[in-house]
Amino acid sequence: MLLKGKTAFITGASRGIGKSIALRFASEGANIVFNYLQDRPAATRTALEIEQTGARALHMQGDVSQDACVRELIDRTLQEFKTIDILVNNAGAGLTKSFATITTGEWEHMLGVHLRGVFLACQLAGEPMRAQKSGSIINIASVAGNIALPLRVIYATVQAGKMMFTKALACEWAESGVRVNCVAPGTILTDLVRRNFELGLLDGAKVLERTPMNRFGETSEVASAALFLASGESSYITGQTLFADGGWTSWGGWPLAAQKG
């Protein structure tokens, strides 16, 4: 078991990518603490699934854009498990909207969820990690942090900020034994992505046309990338962004159809 005896705190893990990461870590021996924003029934179901693997699970309601909430989440984790070995900053919020119509409130909310919450969680969870001279922090970002996408100015900005935050913190904390890395997924088949397809906010056919592997990703594939970065299998890797995107960010722009003849 790659994570036997470890404690992992994962933000936003009641469903989707966060849930898959939690279950994968639990199956590898980690005890799991996670927060959820609103859906208590989903969080309860996820906790039960985690416990069915034999791992311990603790779940709490909380908004990571609020300082007091992040402090409470970390404090309760330390009270229950004494330390934190792995932190996964997965909680997120999307915004697909014309830049001219974005409000300052929406701007502040996106900064709060994707950057302020990550900053404080890393600062607080990093304390016990640096004291024990070991730990792995994994920030979940997006391909939007590396390539420009229409109607996603704020979303792209906070994701790019998360990637640079990862690099800078990794270099600062490297000698303390704490590794900091990032996973940037492409289009993963979550409930949110399916809803975006239905609402016309994302064109599935165009995504596939632009993806060299010609398929959408699964949450389990992002979880596998996170497991690698959380475990000792990646012990000499820090400050990196791993793109789990089916080749999206590597593609140079020539029509893929021309290559299939």
Enzyme catalytic residues: 155
Rounded CA-CA distance 223/226 in Å is 5
Using CA atoms of 31, 36, 42, 45 in order, give the dihedral in degrees to the nearest 10: 20
- Helix, strand, coil % (nearest 5) of the chain? 50, 15, 35
Rounded CA-CA distance 138/171 in Å is 14
Q: Do β-strands 178-185 and 135-140 pair in parallel, antiparallel, or remain unpaired?
A: parallel
Rounded CA-CA distance 105/177 in Å is 38
Rounded CA-CA distance 31/51 in Å is 9
Contact predicate 93/109, CB 8 Å: yes
How many other β-carbons are positioned within 10 Å of the β-carbon of residue 212?
A: 13
Structure tokens at 63: 């908004």
- Contacts of residue 155, defined as CB under 8 A and 6 or more positions apart, other chains included, come to 94, 95, 96, 110, 142, 144, 149
> Residue 168: which H helix or E strand, with range?
helix 153-173
Structure tokens at 33: 């603490």
